[in-house]
Structure 1
Amino acid sequence: MAFLGLRKWPTPVAKPMWPFIAASGITFFLVSKLQDMGVRSEEFAKDPRNPYGAQIAKEQAHH
């Protein structure tokens, strides 16, 4: 018997959602890596509008 629409046993949430959670984590990681590669590319590393320009120049000076 349902009381106010609630079931006796809770509806599973995490078990059917695990593929979407895993895919969102992988997507976040890959987009982060692509963004970092784009910011550090030769074309944009010396661009004055790049917010990481000073940091990249400092790292390239040490190499």
Structure 2
Amino acid sequence: MAFLGLRKWSTPVAKPLWPFMVAGTLTMYLVAKAQDSGVKSAEWRNDPRNPYAAELAKSSLH
């Protein structure tokens, strides 16, 4: 018998959702890598809209 919706044993949450957690982590990693390579590309390196333009110009001098 359930008391206010609580059961004797807890409902598993992480075990059935592990594929979605792994896929989400992998997707976030790949999107971050694509964004980083896009920001550092030659086409956008000297664009004034690039928030990392000053940092890239400083690193390219060394």
- TM-score range relative to shorter protein: over 0.9
Q: Deviations over 1:2-34 (max 9, x none)?
A: 112211100000101111111111111110000
Instruction: Give the Cα–Cα distance (whole angstroms) in 1 for the partners of residues 17 and 39 of structure 2.
Output: 33
Count of aligned pairs = 62
| TM-score, length-scaled by structure 2 | 0.92
Superposition RMSD on alpha carbons, in Å?
Answer: 0.8
In structure 1, runs of 5+ residues without a counterpart are none
Equivalent in the alignment of 2:14: 14
Could you say which structure has the higher helix fraction?
Answer: 1
In structure 2, runs of 5+ residues without a counterpart are none
Percent of paired sites with the same residue: 63
Runs of 4+ in 1 over 6 A off after TM superposition: none
| TM-score, length-scaled by structure 1 | 0.91
